[in-house]
Amino acid sequence: AQQRYASIRDKTATTLDGITISLQMNAGLMADLPSLENSGAEGVGLFRTELQFLVRNQMPKRSELSALYSRVMDAAQGKRVVFRTLDIGSDKVLPYMTPEDEPNPALGWRAIRVGLDKPGVMRMQLQALLRGANGRPLAVMFPFVAQYEEYTRAAEELEKAKERERILGHPLPERIEIGAMLETPSLGFAPQKFFEEVGFLSIGGNDLKQFFFAADRENERVRRRYDTLNISFLSFLEGIVNRCNTTKTPLSFCGEDAGRPIEALCLAAMGLRTLSMRPASIGPVKSLIRRTNLTQLRQIIVDSRERGDQSVRPAVMEFLRKNGG
């Protein structure tokens, strides 16, 4: 399938009306890195670090992790890689940790909540990231941040880890970007100060959508019930884009919807300019973006919203059909 898109691999994802969208890839294994070259992705917008923890029967050592992070950065050859710290709990249970008996694990003790309450593992991972960078620029992103204070506490942990590395005489990254995933609706309403302070934000649409509609992402019965192109959801996303524009906070979207061409196009129409997706989606998404006039598409969405449509999908599909998409 990648071959079909080979001719546009080195071209930008620029719409007919001249708006360029940065397409990045999601990864989680060393084996994913060759796709960075093959897919034409501009960088790794989301590196899910939990896989290294999940595939073992004991906690990985810091030295193993820093070696891996270093190899990932080597393979990226200077392209930016956003490392997301451990996102466990909910559907991802570590075999060597006693599972918590929680009635609603998706709403439970997971991700940054574990990282802040039991900081040992997070500290070890932050140290491994700093050491793996070995002086190179580093981008770290904290998952499942639901309120401002969780971000500041996690960022403080990174500062402390930096200080430890400095005292030990290890080289520090020439630049550190600290970001958060926006995957709970609450963070979209965080105070302006949070948006000013956070280094960047990435919308985790999989979780954000499940919490927005109160519809379990693992439950087939309710999952498909609510369209990503539902106007309430798109309007919420647009609000986040506007807030980020006000504070000049770099924003991306890294949920699975970024890799679905029509969804990706609508995200771009709502103002998103960076999308991170599975590598195989880059070609199809880029191809559709390059054939679309985003200003016209945006108008179609605005009209659909004014008519009171539940989802903009029918209107968008009709527009694309007419335009030979």
Residues in the site for Mg ion, rule: CB under 5 A?
A: 183, 204, 207
**Nearest residue (CB) to Mg ion, 154 versus 312:** 154
In the bound state with ligand PEP, the residue whose beta carbon lies nearer, of 165 and 257, is: 257
Contacts with ligand PEP: how many residues (CB under 6 A)?
10
- Candidates 17-25, 152-160, 186-194, 201-209; binding stretch for ligand PEP (CB under 6 A): 201-209
Report yes or no: 54 and 295 within 8 Å, Cβ to Cβ.
no
What is the CB neighbour count within 10 angstroms for residue 166?
Answer: 12
Contact pattern from residue 159 through residue 198 relative to ligand PEP, giving x for each residue in contact according to CB under 6 A and a dash for the rest: ------------------------x---------------
DSSP H helical ranges for the chain = 34-39, 50-54, 62-76, 112-117, 119-133, 148-167, 185-188, 192-197, 205-212, 220-223, 231-247, 261-269, 279-290, 294-307, 313-322
Contact between 30 and 49 (Cβ < 8 Å): no
DSSP state letter for 311: B
Task: Please report whether residue 204 would count as binding ligand PEP according to CB under 6 A.
Answer: yes
Q: Which is nearer to ligand PEP, 102 or 163 (CB)?
A: 102
Taking CB under 6 A as the binding criterion, the range among 32-40, 63-71, 204-212, 290-298 that sits at the site for ligand PEP is: 204-212
48 binds ligand PEP (CB under 6 A): yes
Q: In Å, how far are 81, 153, 165, 190, 251 from 196, measured between CA atoms?
A: 22, 16, 27, 11, 12
* Contact partner, 241, from Mg ion, ligand PEP, none, Cβ < 5-8 Å per class: none
CB of 277 to ligand PEP, least distance (A): 10
Smaller CB separation from ligand PEP, 49 or 249: 49
Residue 301 exposure: Cα atoms within 13 Å on the Cβ side: 23
Q: Among 32, 42, 87, 150, which residue interacts with ligand PEP (rule: CB under 6 A)?
A: 87
Residue nearest to ligand PEP (CB): 204
- 193 by Cβ neighbours in 10 Å (0-12 / 13-18 / 19+) ranks as exposed
Q: How does 239-260 read in b/e, with b if 16+ C-beta sit within 10 Å?
A: ebbebbeeeebebbbbbbbbbb
Q: Which is nearer to Mg ion, 32 or 87 (CB)?
A: 87
Q: Which residues contact 90 (CB under 8 A, 6 or more apart)?
A: 105, 106, 108, 110, 111
Mark the segment that binds ligand PEP (CB under 6 A) among 121-129, 169-177, 203-211, 278-286. Answer: 203-211
Distance CA 11, CA 6 (A): 10
Minimum CB distance to ligand PEP, residue 30 (Å) = 18
Query: Phi and psi for 233 in degrees, rounded to 5?
Result: -70, -45
Instruction: Compare residues 32 and 183 and give the one whose CB is closer to Mg ion.
Output: 183
* CA 187 – CA 209 distance, rounded (Å): 13
Choose from ligand PEP, Mg ion, none: what does 254 bind? Cβ within 5-8 Å by kind.
Answer: ligand PEP
The answer to whether residue 150 forms part of the interface with ligand PEP (CB under 6 A) is: no
Name which of 186 and 299 has its Cβ closer to ligand PEP.
Answer: 186
Beta carbons of 109 and 89 less than 8 angstroms apart: yes
Among 115, 205, 259, 261, binds ligand PEP (CB under 6 A): 205
| Phi–psi pair at 23, nearest 5 degrees | -105, 125
Return the one option of ligand PEP, Mg ion, none that residue 63 interacts with (CB less than 5 to 8 A, by type).
Answer: none
Binding site for ligand PEP (CB under 6 A): 46, 48, 87, 183, 204-207, 254-255
